[in-house]
Amino acid sequence: MYPAHMEESIRKVEATRERRLKESLLRLGDEQKTPLLQRYHPDYVAGKMRQLALGPNKGDYTPDEVADLLEGNSCLDPDKIDLGRVDYDVDVLVIGGGGAGATAALLAQENGAKVLLTTKLRLGDCNTVGAQAGTQAADRPNDSLAIHYLDTMGGGHFANVPELVEALVKDAPMVIKWLGTLGVNWDKMADGTMHELSGGGASRLRLHSARDYTGLEEMRVLRDEIRNRKIDYLEFSPAVELLMDDKGQVCGAVLVNLETNELTMVRAKSVVMATGGMGRLHIQGFPTTNHYGATADGLVLAYRVGAQLIFMDTMQYHPTGAAYPMQILGQLVTEKVRSLGAQLVNVDGEQFIMPLEPRDVVAAAIIRECQERQKGVKTPAGQVGVWLDSPMIDMLRGEGTVARELPAMVRQFGRFNIDIAREPMLIYPTLHYQNGGIKINTEGATTVPGLFAAGECEGGVHGSNRLIGNSTLDIFVFGRRAGRAAANWSKEVKSGSLTLEHVRCWQKDLERAGLSKLRPVSPLLLPDYARPIPDYLPDYSAQALTAHRIKLT
């Protein structure tokens, strides 16, 4: 159910549909992509990034919102922490309970380590569960690791670290099999052939999916396996600082109980950082598809022990976030909708971009269509967007395809009386993924001994733009590698005595740079949507009400 003025535009979309079913736009060449990205992609907007003033990546550009946290103050006073009181003493501490963390914990345990997993919210509260479309792996006869490699490099603008991409594509089929063995229900034909879809920037049908609940299916299986194997885990207990030893090795972390503020000290021979992304920082005010806890905590902690970061100047804006209704603003409309054949069309019902270009290119084209060309559709809440013409799917693939392939999307829009098999969805780019992160090698080791990283908080695999289905692949490939490597490291390492000297040094550097009073305390842990009213919601006349609140803590 759309308001009248939006219905008017839908009539135009319907009028052009018959013609568009046969119309296919050409993919853009580099000479067209580059200026499109440079003029319209948020990564290139001047004045929204700055150079880091200190730390291992001093001088590198990153969005202001990220820089503030990376240059932030520790919440701990090392003089007040009793390092003699250790609550947990383990081989491997995994920080983060999403797909990468759960995978790393399973593999570390399989490789003989005593493991503790700690996470900020519940086990499995993470971006993985929101991943809908699928996981890439080149396992069909007409596909190959080389083609997957080439697609990934091209999608990432050839900036990706080649060795990491090699690991990614090489482990991929084995990862699909591993998940199947754990009981993940892949979409298959009756003869066992995987039902694989195409995705933006992929030149073969390579997406392994579980309806449009792929990440949820993967995560609920992994979470159950963690429980079955009796791996210890702590919930609502984020890490606020890493611990080091006097030899410069990472060996544990300080956790905080989110509800009581009590500190928990964990000594570990190695740490796997798997804290996920940063969508909840709302870079440049964009809404986000991300989980409530996606606040870049792992980057902050790793940076403070001296770990190098990579590609921190590039974010992924998913081209299709919901722009209407307001209740689901910014939420993910899976790329699978385009994989199944839906086109992107403007207010007049005209296509303006080949829908399966890489994500950054599609996002830039939508922004151009709405801003420069003024061909977007405005909602009552003041959002602008373009149509994703989902009714084409049943026309192309037969009645019932939408219901069968996109149950999550049907449900999400159905709540607001929008039948996506009959009516298009209004969409606009939304902050989706952190392309860069902590620098790792092929075994998930960071530049600091004893610290490993896996999943969205690590960087290099995707260059400056990630392809669909390569993120859920990344968490398993590097979750497995990091978990195994951390377990092996723990067998060999001789740990020294615990210290928070790195925090003292960091605070001194911050003061010397004149920044300590200007920067917030970090990690952020959770966004504060309670006060004031969050930016991502429209302004209300009633906003004045909230001005009367004071902060008691």
Give me the active site residues, please: 318, 338
* Binding region for other proteins (CB under 8 A) out of 73-81, 179-187, 467-475, 514-522: 179-187
505 binds other proteins (CB under 8 A): no
Q: Which lies closer to other proteins via its Cβ, residue 169 or residue 485?
A: 169
Q: Which lies closer to other proteins via its Cβ, residue 71 or residue 357?
A: 357
Tell me how many degrees the CA angle 253-255-261 measures, rounded to the nearest 5: 155
**Contacting other proteins within 278-307 (CB under 8 A):** 289, 291-292
531 binds other proteins (CB under 8 A): yes
Q: Are 459 and 421 in contact (CB under 8 A)?
A: no
Residue 116 DSSP one-character state: E
Q: Which lies closer to other proteins via its Cβ, residue 83 or residue 174?
A: 174
**Contacting other proteins within 421-480 (CB under 8 A):** none
Candidates 128, 472, 106, 64; CA nearest to 293 is 128
Q: Which lies closer to other proteins via its Cβ, residue 249 or residue 343?
A: 343
**Contacting other proteins within 6-45 (CB under 8 A):** 27, 29-30
Indicate the helix (H) or strand (E) that contains 498: strand 498-499
Pick from 95, 104, 106, 194: which binds other proteins (CB under 8 A)? 194
CB within 8 Å of 355: residues ≥ 6 apart: 200, 338, 342, 343, 344, 362
Angle of the 145-155 helix axis to the 162-181 helix axis, nearest 10: 120
**Contacting other proteins within 534-553 (CB under 8 A):** 534, 537-542, 546, 549
* Binding region for other proteins (CB under 8 A) out of 70-78, 106-114, 136-144, 478-486: 136-144
Indicate the helix (H) or strand (E) that contains 384: strand 384-388
Sole residue written with tokens 């990630």: 466
Write the interaction track for other proteins spanning residues 196-235; mark x where CB under 8 A is met and - where it is not. Answer: xxx----xxx----xx-x-xxx--xx--xx-xx-x-----
**Contacting other proteins within 347-386 (CB under 8 A):** 356, 380-382
> CA 543 to CA 545: how far, in whole Å?
5
Q: How far is the CB of 130 from other proteins (least distance, A)?
A: 5
Pick from 314, 412, 472, 495: which binds other proteins (CB under 8 A)? 412
**Contacting other proteins within 66-125 (CB under 8 A):** 121-122, 124-125
Q: How far is the CB of 336 from other proteins (least distance, A)?
A: 11
Cα-Cα-Cα-Cα torsion 179, 183, 186, 188, nearest 10 degrees, comes to 120
Q: Are 147 and 155 in contact (CB under 8 A)?
A: no
| Percent helix / strand / coil, the chain, rounded to 5 | 35, 20, 45
398 binds other proteins (CB under 8 A): no
> What are the DSSP calls for 259-278, one per residue?
TT--EEEEEEEEEEE-----
Q: Which lies closer to other proteins via its Cβ, residue 58 or residue 415?
A: 415
Q: Is 124 exposed, middle or buried (0-12, 13-18, 19+ CB in 10 A)?
A: buried
Write the interaction track for other proteins spanning residues 252-281; mark x where CB under 8 A is met and - where it is not. Answer: ------xx----------------------
Q: How far is the CB of 534 from other proteins (least distance, A)?
A: 7
Q: Which lies closer to other proteins via its Cβ, residue 497 or residue 546?
A: 546
* Binding region for other proteins (CB under 8 A) out of 14-22, 248-256, 322-330, 491-499: 322-330
Q: Are 257 and 265 in contact (CB under 8 A)?
A: no
313-341 b/e (C-beta count within 10 Å ≥ 16 → b): bbbbbbbbbbbbbeebbbebbbbbbbbbb
CB within 8 Å of 134: residues ≥ 6 apart: 196, 197, 199, 207, 208, 209, 210, 214, 336, 468, 469, 472
By rule CB under 8 A, what count of residues binds other proteins?
109
Distances (CA, A) of 49 to 288, 307, 313: 19, 21, 8
133 binds other proteins (CB under 8 A): no
Pick from 19, 140, 404, 422: which binds other proteins (CB under 8 A)? 140
* Binding region for other proteins (CB under 8 A) out of 143-151, 344-352, 449-457, 482-490: 143-151
402 binds other proteins (CB under 8 A): no
Q: How far is the CB of 529 from other proteins (least distance, A)?
A: 4
**Contacting other proteins within 147-166 (CB under 8 A):** 147, 149-151, 153-154, 158, 162-163, 166
404 binds other proteins (CB under 8 A): no
* Binding region for other proteins (CB under 8 A) out of 74-82, 338-346, 463-471, 507-515: 338-346
Q: Are 268 and 251 in contact (CB under 8 A)?
A: yes
Residue 27 DSSP one-character state: P
